[in-house]
């Protein structure tokens, strides 16, 4: 058991980009697993909400990969890392639960399309998902490395074409129990 630092939207789907909220408020499939496994829940800020607002467009990593957004993410990462450090100093296990496919909150899968820009129209099914971390997770990772704090990662997978709630639950359980995701 330990502390799960979860992406903001997992407790508050209102923060999602428009047309992206899978449920009214709390994304229960993740919360239920954390509760059942006895993990404490800590919510991280949404990097995109405060920076680009509620009316932001769906975006890929390259569109957020700017000096200004990275500064914003580093500010958030400093705040979150302070909380993580306080837990780590107590000897608690830390897991980051991100959002796979997210340009900012992906933990092992983010979104990429170097050509995307201009008038916001593109076909569904664009193969934008690619391995890697989102911008905020990358900055938080760097800050935690700097502080010598280790952690494991898990991800909500709703945005992926391969999403399966049972698989998502099993992978999260595996990470919480100390295994791989």
Partner 1 sequence: MTRATSGPASRPSCGAAVGDERSFRVALVADRFVNPAPGGLDGLAVLAAAGWGVMQLPDDAYPAEVARLLLAEVAEQVEEFSRHGYVFVLIGERAGLDEALHAVGVPVPPGITPASAAELSEFLSAQPVPPAATAARE
Q: Which residues bind partner 1 (CB under 8 A)?
A: 8, 11-16, 18-29, 31, 40-43, 45-46, 49-50, 53-55, 76, 78-80, 82-83, 86, 158, 165
Report which of 6, 16, 25 is spatially closest to residue 48, judged by C-alpha positions.
16
Q: How far is the CB of 40 from partner 1 (least distance, A)?
A: 5
**Residue (62 or 92) nearer to partner 1, CB:** 92
Q: Which residue has the tokens 């979150």?
A: 80
**Residue (76 or 175) nearer to partner 1, CB:** 76
Angle at 127 between CA 28 and CA 57, to 5 degrees: 65
**Residue (152 or 158) nearer to partner 1, CB:** 158
* Burial readout 54-81 (b: 16 or more C-beta within 10 A, e: otherwise): eeeebbbbbbbeeeebbebbbebbeebb
Structure-derived torsion over alpha carbons of residues 180, 154, 95, 42, reported in degrees to the nearest 10: -160
Q: How far is the CB of 107 from partner 1 (least distance, A)?
A: 19
Report which of 10, 13, 17, 8 is spatially closest to residue 44, judged by C-alpha positions.
8
**Residue (5 or 61) nearer to partner 1, CB:** 5
Q: How far is the CB of 115 from partner 1 (least distance, A)?
A: 27
Q: How far is the CB of 11 from partner 1 (least distance, A)?
A: 4
Q: How far is the CB of 46 from partner 1 (least distance, A)?
A: 7
**Residue (12 or 173) nearer to partner 1, CB:** 12
């Amino acid at each position: 058991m330990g502390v799960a630092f979860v992406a903001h939207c997992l407790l508050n789907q209102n923060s999602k980009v428009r047309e992206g909220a899978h449920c009214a408020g709390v994304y229960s499939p993740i919360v239920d697993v954390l509760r059942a496994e006895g993990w404490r829940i800590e919510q991280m800020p949404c990097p995109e909400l405060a920076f680009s607002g509620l009316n932001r467009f769906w975006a890929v990593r390259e569109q957020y990969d700017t000096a200004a957004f990275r500064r914003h993410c580093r500010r958030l990462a400093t705040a979150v890392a302070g909380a993580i450090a306080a837990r780590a100093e107590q000897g608690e296990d830390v897991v980051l639960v991100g959002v796979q496919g997210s340009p900012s909150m992906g933990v092992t899968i983010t979104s990429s399309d170097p050509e995307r820009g201009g008038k916001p129209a593109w076909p569904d099914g664009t193969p934008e998902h690619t391995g890697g971390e989102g911008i905020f997770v990358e900055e938080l990772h760097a800050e935690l490395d700097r502080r010598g704090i280790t952690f494991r990662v898990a991800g909500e997978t709703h945005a992926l074409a391969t999403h399966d709630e049972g698989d998502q639950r099993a992978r999260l359980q595996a990470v919480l129990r100390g295994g791989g995701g």
